[in-house]
Amino acid sequence: MKSNRSLSDIAARVLTNEARDAGEAKPQARARAIDAIAVAIRQRKRRQRQRWGVFGAVAVAASIALAMGFGHLRGGEPTTGGAPPIAAAASASFVRGSPSLERGGVREPLSHGMSLQAGDRVLVEPGSRATVALADGTFLLVEDRADLVLVSTTPTTTFELGAGSVHADVAKLKPDARFLIRTSDAEVEVRGTSFEVSRAAPDPACGRGTTTRVKVREGVVAVRAAGNEALVRAGESWPRGCSDSTTTLGLAPQPPAVVLPAANEAVPTTNEATPSPAPTGAASATKRSAEPRASDLGAQNDLFEKAVARKRAGDVAGAITSFEELLARHPSSHLAQSARVERMKLLRGVDRERARAAARAYLERYPNGFGRRDAELILSGD
């Protein structure tokens, strides 16, 4: 039986051969490469089911079920006359359930494509989720029961987390830019990474009773609390030595507020389950980074296959959702570069500004990657 790890070899061979033979790379060739990866994943899963069927069902890691939509997709080619539209500093790229936006004391349903400005508060009720996308390619998955405020935008982008949890995938920042997430007792600052900040009930045995929890998946973040600063690296968590079973401190019941009617648009639904939180700890993380668990690789492959299937079915919003979920959950996946390229190309057809932001973020991360030509074409406006 072929191992999960062998799928990364298949992906690497397919994409390397394509890059070698590309010259003037054609979309059909790229599509065939992506389809080949998806087929390999399906064949691996079929063999596993046949071999393990007599021993019972195989447990797989659950995925966050996020449904993505766009309020109004632009039709046809963009006009060439006039000044280009100014991109919003932040916007809701998709929502699930019934999150809301509070602005100036007035609350209204958060809808797809709604722009956010400094002072806006995103409230995510139980069973709901939302993604906030920034103009530079950064995106945040805001979990249910979360309370997140956009305090300020460029050059210093600051969010304040009052409750719940948020996963951030931060694009490489310009030299004068900063990205921070604050809580009531800590401040987390990054320079381009993937991490999670959550609020938990205070525990005297954990970080002197702090309610803030930080998990870093990629890169390095600085956490400042009680006058001290600690660097937290990939695979580590802060505070150290806290229980992995800590319950997230969710959104408290909200006082009555003025609620505006929702726009007339359908919200995608899904039946998938919320994943279990990733284990933390520097020692175990080091071991995992060297040899990922089979369940993690299986979850990555499942998300990639789902994204490709949605793309082939014409579900552009759903495909982007799955690719973003893969990148947020597994930023160092063997499929991460492929996912970033596919997401970038899909965005090109529905949101040129976000596509350009994704292209810039891709070139920063993979200056000689196999998607370089696609990224350069997007940035050139072709």
**In this predicted structure, what is the pLDDT of residue 52?**
45
Tell me if the bond preceding 202 is cis, omega within 30° of 0: no
Buried b (16+ CB within 10 A) or exposed e, 92-107: bbbbbbebbbbeeeeb
**In this predicted structure, what is the pLDDT of residue 61?**
33
Pairing of strands 187-190, 220-225: antiparallel
**In this predicted structure, what is the pLDDT of residue 151?**
93
Cα separations (Å) of 98 from 68, 81, 294? 13, 38, 34
- CA angle at residue 133 from 175 to 184, to 5 degrees? 75
Query: Which domains can be identified in the chain, with CATH numbers?
Result: 4-58+292-380 (1.25.40), 90-259 (2.60.120.1440)
**In this predicted structure, what is the pLDDT of residue 318?**
87
Q: Which helix (H) or strand (E) holds 345?
A: helix 336-348
Give 310-354 pLDDT, tens digit per residue: 888 899 988 898 888 888 888 878 788 888 999 999 998 888 888
Give 133-147 pLDDT, tens digit per residue: 998 889 899 988 999
Euclidean distance between CA atoms 334 and 289, whole angstroms:
12
**In this predicted structure, what is the pLDDT of residue 49?**
56
DSSP 132-156: EEETTS-EEEE-TT-EEEEEE-TTE
The whole model's pTM is what? Answer: 0.51
DSSP 28-58: HHHHHHHHHHHHHHHHHHHHHHHHHGGG-PP
**In this predicted structure, what is the pLDDT of residue 70?**
33
Strand stretches in the chain, DSSP E: 90-96, 100-103, 106-109, 115-116, 121-123, 129-134, 139-142, 147-152, 156-163, 165-169, 178-182, 187-190, 194-199, 212-218, 220-225, 228-233, 237-238, 258-259
Report the C-alpha dihedral over residues 173, 142, 134, 255, rounded to 10 degrees: -120
**In this predicted structure, what is the pLDDT of residue 200?**
86
**In this predicted structure, what is the pLDDT of residue 192?**
65
Euclidean distance between CA atoms 113 and 95, whole angstroms:
9
Euclidean distance between CA atoms 159 and 152, whole angstroms:
7
What stretches in the chain show pLDDT beneath 70?
A: 1-33, 35-36, 38-88, 191-192, 244-295, 382
Residues whose CB falls within 8 Å of the CB of residue 201, separated by 6 or more in sequence, listed in order: 211, 246, 247, 249
Cα separations (Å) of 319 from 109, 131, 165, 309? 24, 14, 24, 8
